[in-house]
Amino acid sequence: MKLTISLDILEEAFYYVSPVKPVSTVPLIYTTFSAEKAEIAYTTDNEAKFARKIERSFKAAFHAIVQANQEYRKILDQDTLLSPQEQLTMQRKLIDSIVTTIKKYPELTLIRVELAGSWPVYQTAAGHLDLAD
């Protein structure tokens, strides 16, 4: 079975989104895992999630990912201007840290990573988001 979880590094939260991935206005990372039936539990709304033991491992991995990417998290949160090369470098480091960290947990079988939502790749001062509007 495939299980997709969205990672929101700005809010330091994750959400189970299988099978439908919502459209997002914030930068999200979708991570898709392969899991055996014994590794899946269901909520009272009959939505799939990791069983408790597997979810504990995922939470530990997610915490490590957030900690490893604090610099980029602050840049995204403050809408800091970076060159396209700097943005792509930071995104590459983020993806590498996600894959590397999750691979440290053999009970988590990561099969896909996607960037979704509003990731800045090119922005000038005129394109700066004014959150006061």
- What integer pLDDT is reported at residue 23 of this predicted model? 81
Residue pair 97/65 in contact by the 8 Å Cβ criterion:
yes
Instruction: Sketch the domain layout of the chain as residue ranges.
Output: 2-127
Q: How confident is the model at residue 38 (pLDDT cuts 50, 70, 90)?
A: very high
Percent of the chain with pLDDT over 70: 95
Q: How far apart are CA 82 and CA 24, in angstroms?
A: 22
The model's pTM is 0.88
Q: What are phi and psi of 108, to 5 degrees?
A: -100, 120
Cα separation, 20 vs 74, whole angstroms: 29
Q: What is the four-CA torsion angle of 1, 13, 96, 103, rounded to 10 degrees? A: -50
